[in-house]
Amino acid sequence: MPEKLKENIYWVGAIDWNIRDFHGYETKNGSTYNSYLITDEKVVLIDTVKHYLFDEFLDRIKKIIDPKKIDYIVVNHVEMDHSSSLEKIIKISNAKIITNEKAKEHLNLHYDTTNWEFIIVDSNDSLNIGKKNLKFIKTPMLHWPDNMVTYAIEDKILFSNDAFGQHIASFERYDFEVDGCIESAKEYFANILLPYKSLIPNAIKTVDSLNIDLVCPSHGVIWKKDVQKIKECYLKWASNEVLEKAVIVYDSMYGSTEKIGCSIAEGLVEGGISVKIFKLSRSDISAIMNEIIDAKYVLIGSPTLNINIYPEVAKFLKYMEGLKPSKKIAVAFGSYGWAESATLHIKNIFNNISFENVDDECLTVRFVPKEEDLKKCYEFGKKLSKM
């Protein structure tokens, strides 16, 4: 069923209970593709849903109006999880597309837009649709160059697209109805928006200038109870604020690298540092990034394999490098046989994202670490906790 948010404003999106991978981000709780319908003198649809959920989406619209009556479709962002139902809904409605110049360029590259009619808007442009007025604000690189948000002035609703989203599949629509929304939003931020965190403060400043009752993102639940809290969290996650926490990420062939990492962890804990340990072959990399975002220390371990990094570790390093977390004290460790190479590759990634490398001869052990090796790793952990 559709969900009425305010007078003549409805959620008409689709729930994806089964999705478990969102371009490399594990979505263990599924997701939603949120679309919103405004019925005034003009009928406006804000964003659409992923193509394979079109029928569910269309059915919700039909419970409110005849889809042929849709006058405008606002495209806040062209990524296909939001736009891949556009072709079908335009064929039914012949609606005009309201979007920005960059999004129009992207739409032309995704679809056959030959017969589409566009209304191009810029920041602070507005559209009167009867009793209601919509205001458009561009938010480029949050997280594509085409991103914008739409603000329903009289109803005090911000349709924020990917900003403030979470990957949660639920029949409940509001933050106060679903447990763990803030943590889900943090994981979403860490895996989607982190590379663009320097842009967040200005975006929040823009949002703060608006009178907002509801924040309606394109994934997950709608923020009603915690509108102020989620804005504060975004500012916190976008800052370089860290906790006295270490995240140890590794994989191991025969257990030697694991032993090194666990010994360092014991020393860190002895020094008063909270520690999270993840074995990559058994862990969700999106959950790891969720922990790294506010960690002071990041330690990554790998055995040397064919003069290179262990495959699972290499995959994670590339993923992390793309997300560009910053201001971390970093440690590379591992075991090797006849030639040590893995930690050199790890340190190169650390350098690429401006982590502060910390080195020690005890961090690489040939074949199997002896008791004295593990004691040195423990002492290293204690020393590291004081940095």
Q: Which residues are catalytic?
A: 23, 77, 79, 81, 143, 162, 188, 219
d(C-alpha 151, C-alpha 206), whole Å = 11
Yes or no: say if 284 and 315 are a contact pair by the CB < 8 Å rule.
Answer: no
> Can you spell out the DSSP letters for 156-196?
TEEEEETTT------S--BGGGSTTHHHHHHHHIIIIIGGG
What pairing do the DSSP bridges indicate for beta strands 364-366 and 36-39? Answer: unpaired
d(C-alpha 9, C-alpha 321), whole Å = 41
Is the preceding omega at residue 143 within 30 degrees of 0, hence cis?
yes
Quick one: tokens of 235?
């500012």
- 180-184-186-191 Cα dihedral, nearest 10 degrees: 170
E strand or H helix that includes residue 101: helix 101-110
User: Strand, coil or helix: what is 68?
Assistant: helix
